[in-house]
Amino acid sequence: MMLPSAFWHRFLLMAFLPLMIILSACTSASSPTSDVGEPDSPSTVDRPVPATPIVSVQSGDLQGVREDDVFVFRGIPYAAPPVGELRWREPQPLNPWQGVRKADAFGYSCIQPDTSSLEGAGDPGALSEDCLFLNVWTPSITSGDRLPVMVWIHGGGLVIGAGSLPAFTGAPLAQRDVVLVTFNYRLGPLGFFDHPALEEANPDGPVNFGLLDQIAALQWVQKNIAAFGGDPDNVTIFGQSAGGQSVLALMTSPLAQGLFHKGIVESAYGVISNPRVRALDAGIRLANDVGLNGADATLDDLRAVPAEAFAQVTDPLASLAPSFVVGDPVLPEPISDVFRDGREAPAPLIIGSNSDEASVAGAFGFDPALLLESLPGMKWVLKVLYWGTGDDSDLARQVIRDVIFTSFARRIAAWHTRQAPTWRYYFSYVPEKLRETKTGVGHGDEIVFVMDTMDYVPSPDRFTSADRQMAKRMGSYWTAFARTGEPDPAGEPHWPRFTSRKDRLMEFGERIRVRKNFMKLRLNFYNFLIRVLDWYVRR
């Protein structure tokens, strides 16, 4: 999932400003193992198959459909529509419905910019401010089955995306005897917003409304997932990019405690958090951009603006993407601070990233080589760290990848391993037909492998049987982790835990293999610079 171009330069600035500061200051002054096995087989458990699947949840009865050998319930509302007086408020309880509600079609996706021109972004379908819906794929609607539950949090920089995109289809994982849940959450200014009028109405109240939506969806899972055969005491949250960032945020949020038990973080990014004062400034700019009188706009004025107008804002400084806001009841402290101090949820964690995360820059015409021009005095250091790398563009792509993604994943893993079992991965498997044109795996390209959804996305014929086999194998690691808390499916290479003393990582490439001390020198270098910057800021 990729960010709209209006936010890309701000994303780079947030990611590289600390590095540029510290690098400028600095300028002035074993063999892998490999085994190949068969993936876990789909379950062969015999279960009753009702002609019309109906389940009862707290708000009423739902009628789903039978597709792809699993039961599917789409478009389930999990909170009241956040419209009118409920815009920029905590998600509110649903009013129960009468009779049986059909759950055979996806609900509206949340308001967002048009990304139809962005390859790989996905079509979210019809948009509305009334968008708090979730979807369930399950092999069983017997409450006593207590199957592991996997809750997917979509990415998109907190600006775009939806739980209904084809790549997130839950049938393939549900066929492996898990219950798969996807959902929407408020995006952009409707999901992450502050303004003087909002502060006056609710001083120091919430700002991360989209994150509150995620918590409400997890609360719904706790209350209702048993009706779909799921086990509310075995919930794994997983997500990519902003979805991965959301997993980390939920692990640090005091409001999310007890709502999940394991986490998987794909391609989360290490960028600067938004302080509350920055959110206020963005809100004032946003009010100006939609035709109101900046800081003097009233809450009634802001709530009267058509929701669609917030997706057309042109001032990049009116956006808080792609970071959460720090300093509200949902996220009182920066994610990194909580992990560094060992105060996050002690949940088993998988965390990793891809081999060409910098593709998120190239997708919008940004030349990564421009990064090196901003760090002329450190180019020789980077050449040493990336010995044998090709031209400046390739070097810069790898630096972007490692500063924003790879080193951040290692940093979080090193902190979290003190709290709970932790595993690291690096995804480098390029589909067979693309190997002559692509040198790595782009941002978000692992999703169809994790969720085994190659047959649900456009142009499925671009994937070979070997690609599909890789998806089966990778998905088996994810579902094994959801089932047991250990990513060790039968017949596959053992994935050892990461610790600070035993630096082990699983590479999902043309071979699935354990790597020792993977990129250790350069990642230690970047993380040392981050520690120095952190000390400098705190002194």
Strand partners, 65: 72
**Cα separation values, 308 from 113, 169, 284, 311, 396, Å:** 9, 27, 18, 6, 37
Pick the CATH number of 30-192+207-272+327-367+400-485+500-538 from 3.40.50.1820, 3.90.1150.10, 3.40.50.1390, 3.40.50.2000: 3.40.50.1820
- Please state, rounded to an integer, the average pLDDT across all residues of the chain: 90
Q: Given this model, what pLDDT does residue 537 score?
A: 67
CB 409 within 8 A of CB 351: yes
Q: Which of 109, 140, 241, 267 is catalytic?
A: 241
Our answer to whether residue 494 is catalytic in this structure is: no
Q: Given this model, what pLDDT does residue 533 score?
A: 78
Token match 């990129």: residue? 519
Our answer to whether residue 407 is catalytic in this structure is: no
User: What are the residues whose beta carbons fall under 8 Å from the beta carbon of 277, sequence distance 6 or more?
Assistant: none
CB 172 within 8 A of CB 256: no
Please tell me the distance from the alpha carbon of residue 9 to that of residue 365, in angstroms, as a whole number.
11
H-helix or E-strand containing 429?
none
Q: Which of 357, 446, 492, 507 is catalytic?
A: 357
Our answer to whether residue 266 is catalytic in this structure is: no
Q: Which of 246, 336, 443, 476 is catalytic?
A: 443
Q: Given this model, what pLDDT does residue 102 score?
A: 98
- Of the chain, the end-to-end C-alpha distance in Å amounts to 38
Q: Which tens digits make up the pLDDT trace of 447-473? A: 999 999 999 999 999 999 999 999 999
Q: Given this model, what pLDDT does residue 148 score?
A: 98
pLDDT profile of the chain (539 residues), mean per 10: 46 50 40 42 63 94 97 98 98 97 98 74 91 98 96 96 98 98 98 98 97 98 98 98 98 98 97 95 98 98 98 94 97 97 98 94 62 71 88 88 95 98 98 94 97 96 98 98 98 97 96 97 91 74
Give the residue extent of every domain in the chain. 30-192+207-272+327-367+400-485+500-538
Q: Which tens digits make up the pLDDT trace of 365-421? A: 566 667 667 666 677 889 899 998 878 888 989 999 999 999 999 999 999 999 999
